[in-house]
Structure 1
Amino acid sequence: MRRRGERRRRILRGVAWAAVYALGMVLLVPSGAWMWWQRPPSASGTDVNALWARHQWVGETHTDAEYRSFADRLRRNRITDVYFHAGPFEADGTVPESLHRNAAALLAALRRYAPAVRAQAYLGQIRIVDGHGIIDLDDPNVRRNVLVTDKKFLDLGFAGIHYDFEPIYPDDTAFLTLLDDTRALTKTRGRLLSVAIEQKTLDDAAQPIFKALLPRTGRFHYPPRPTATFLRAVADRADQVAIMAYDTQLPTKSLVGLHFAKHAQWTLDLIGDRTTVFLGVPTYRPATGWAEDLPTALRGIRKGIDALDRRPRRPFGVGIYADWTTAEKDWRTYEREWPGEKRAEHRPIEQS
């Protein structure tokens, strides 16, 4: 009985120490992030940045004054690329003309007032995965229709095609085939192909485990995040890759900042020499993750740039999501927290 009681006490002590250790680790990460967060970033912002823009710009009429005001805002805030929502795709890969009846007027106005800005047609849909979704990219006929639709938008005068299909898992060869075919189209026309994709997985080795334990449909599906190999494959096929780094669902600003910093560092190290990278930042407040906001995201990305051994050879910047949630105070925050390179006197990024 005495031995059994001693063994029980040893087990309880072991469990107690394990609990203390686990609690210490839980506390150590936020406290370490808080200490790291206190030092302000030294990196500047960049002069190559993107904006996701609402559908009304291509779907509704606007006054000349509205166009002038919008163009002035783009110039002042160093926005070089605007992804104008022009879809979504129908299930068969087409887009009704009624959805973009004002596109020609918009593009003409931008040529007058912001000729350096690249206006891209933002097109996407919920991708069918395991029987759930709207558009089936595995169907060659659907992909063919998507390309025909892309050509119509290029004929209208858009500077490029911006894809946002979700979810995209890192075994999606049909998506890569679509990128190959679209790049062939845009390249012959002297236009751009850009892609919005989720942030890279934290650990590529964990993807097979998630895949085995969780289905890809339903509420608790495993995250559709690219592996390093898949993200490089996308970057090799696209002129621009916009990383949807927002929706962190983290509880403190230092943890949110650490998230943006690490993804900026990882992504730019991984594909920054292959393609132009835009790191998506939010101007909305998510339903969960109450600490996430625009100034925290911008500060975090600048700290991620500080951590680079060298700046990538290709241009990079942030992608603001989105113009329909960006208030005047957000633009002031952006100007303050993402200072231009000339003002900060940092080495300019190399153009390709």
Structure 2
Amino acid sequence: MHDHCRMMRRALRWTGWAAAYLAGLVALVFAGSWVWWQQPPSARGTGTNALWARHQWVGEPHTEAEYRDLGALLKRNRITDVFFHAGPFEADGTVPPAKYRNAAKLIEAVRRHAPGVRAQAYLGQIRTVDGVGVTDLDDPAVRERVLATDKIFLDLGFAGIHYDFEPVYPDDRAYLTLLDRTRELTRARGRLLSVAVEQPTLVDAAQPVYKALIPRTGTVHYPPRPTEDFLRALADRADQVAIMTYDVSLPTRSLVGLHFAAHTERTLRLIGDRTTVFMGVPTYRPLMDWAEDLPGALRGVRRGVDALDRPPVRPYGVGIYADWTTDSADWQRYRANWLPPGSDYFGR
């Protein structure tokens, strides 16, 4: 009995030490990130930026005044690329014409009111993985119909195709095959291919561990994070890569900023010389995330640029997610925290 009590006390003591050690580590992380966050960024933003736009622009009629206001907003905020939601794909790789019945009018209006802005067709769907999902890109017939649908949107006058298939895992050869074929199509037409992907892995070697240990929940089996090799493969195929860096779920603004900074630095180092990069930033406030906001995300992106030895060879900027959650105050914050002073549109 005495030995048992002594063992219990020893176990409790070790547990207490371990808890104290863990608490100390957590405190150091919080303190370190707070100290890091106090240094203001020196890098300014750029004039190459994207915006994800709601489906109503291609699916519903609009007045000339609405188109004029859209053009003014894009010019004032130095938006060079707009991903107008034009899908999603049906299971067979098609998009019903009724969903994009006003696309041609939209494209004409963008040309009138925001010349030089590239209006891209934002297309995607839940990608079938292990029999779960909607669009099965492993089926060559489905991929052919996706390409045929892309041709329809390019014929309408869109400046590019913007894919957002989710989830896409780093062993997805069918997805890369689709990108190869789409690139042939877009380049033959003098248009763009852009892709939206999840933020990269923190540790590439963790992917097979996730795959083995994390059970399927709905359409997702394990975190669909691109590895370094997969991100390079995407960059070699796409003219633009948009990183969906948002939905951070961290408890403090400094940790959120560190997240955006780390992913910006790493992504631009990896592919900034290969393709145009947009770091996705949110204008919505997640219900379960009180620390993530647009100014903090933009500050984090700029700190990530500061950490680079040199600017990337290719253009880079941010992607605003999304137009339907961005109000006038958000746009003012964006201009103040991102656009370079002296920009043609800054402050106007």
Asked if these proteins are the same fold (TM beyond 0.5), I'd say yes
1:97 aligns with 2:97: yes
Q: Which amino acid aligns with 1:264?
A: T
Q: Secondary structure of 1:243's partner?
A: strand
Task: State the Cα distance separating 1:189 from its structure 2 match.
Answer: 0.6
In structure 2, distance between residues paired with 1:54 and 1:16: 52
In structure 1, distance between residues paired with 2:343 and 2:39: 21
In structure 2, distance between residues paired with 1:127 and 1:229: 21
Q: Which amino acid aligns with 1:27?
A: A
Residue 348 of structure 1 is matched in structure 2 by: none
Aligned residues: 344
Task: State the Cα distance separating 1:68 from its structure 2 match.
Answer: 1.1
In structure 2, distance between residues paired with 1:8 and 1:162: 60
Residue 218 of structure 2 is matched in structure 1 by: 218
**Cα pair 1:243 1:280 within 8 Å, conserved:** yes
Residue 76 of structure 2 is matched in structure 1 by: 76
**Cα pair 2:129 2:219 within 8 Å, conserved:** no
Task: State the Cα distance separating 1:218 from its structure 2 match.
Answer: 3.5
Task: State the Cα distance separating 1:230 from its structure 2 match.
Answer: 0.7
Task: State the Cα distance separating 1:339 from its structure 2 match.
Answer: 2.5
Q: TM-score, structure 1 length as denominator?
A: 0.94
In structure 1, distance between residues paired with 2:261 and 2:71: 30
Residue 256 of structure 1 is matched in structure 2 by: 256
Residue 350 of structure 1 is matched in structure 2 by: none
**Cα pair 1:130 1:216 within 8 Å, conserved:** no
Q: Identify unmatched segments of 5+ residues in structure 2.
A: none
Residue 315 of structure 1 is matched in structure 2 by: 315
In structure 2, distance between residues paired with 1:248 and 1:146: 31
Q: Secondary structure of 1:204's partner?
A: coil
In structure 2, distance between residues paired with 1:233 and 1:95: 27
Q: TM-score, structure 2 length as denominator?
A: 0.95
Residue deviations 1:272-320 (CA, integer Å, cap 9, x gap) = 1110000000111112221111111001111111111111100000000
1:324 aligns with 2:294: no
**Cα pair 1:130 1:217 within 8 Å, conserved:** no
Residue 43 of structure 2 is matched in structure 1 by: 43
Residue deviations 1:184-230 (CA, integer Å, cap 9, x gap) = 10011100000000000111111111111113443884211111111
In structure 2, distance between residues paired with 1:220 and 1:15: 35
**Cα pair 2:133 2:219 within 8 Å, conserved:** no
**Cα pair 1:45 1:341 within 8 Å, conserved:** no
Residue 288 of structure 2 is matched in structure 1 by: 288
The alignment yields a C-alpha RMSD, in angstroms, of 1.8
Task: State the Cα distance separating 1:114 from its structure 2 match.
Answer: 1.1
Residue 106 of structure 2 is matched in structure 1 by: 106
Q: Do the aligned partners of residues 315 and 341 (structure 1) sit closer, same or farther apart at CA in structure 2, a change above 3 Å counting?
A: farther
Residue identity (%): 70
Task: State the Cα distance separating 1:65 from its structure 2 match.
Answer: 1.2
Residue 198 of structure 2 is matched in structure 1 by: 198
**Cα pair 2:95 2:149 within 8 Å, conserved:** yes
In structure 2, distance between residues paired with 1:226 and 1:220: 14
Task: State the Cα distance separating 1:63 from its structure 2 match.
Answer: 1.1
Q: Identify unmatched segments of 5+ residues in structure 1.
A: 345-352
Q: Which amino acid aligns with 1:63?
A: T
Q: Do the aligned partners of residues 74 and 96 (structure 1) sit closer, same or farther apart at CA in structure 2, a change above 3 Å counting?
A: same
1:167 aligns with 2:183: no
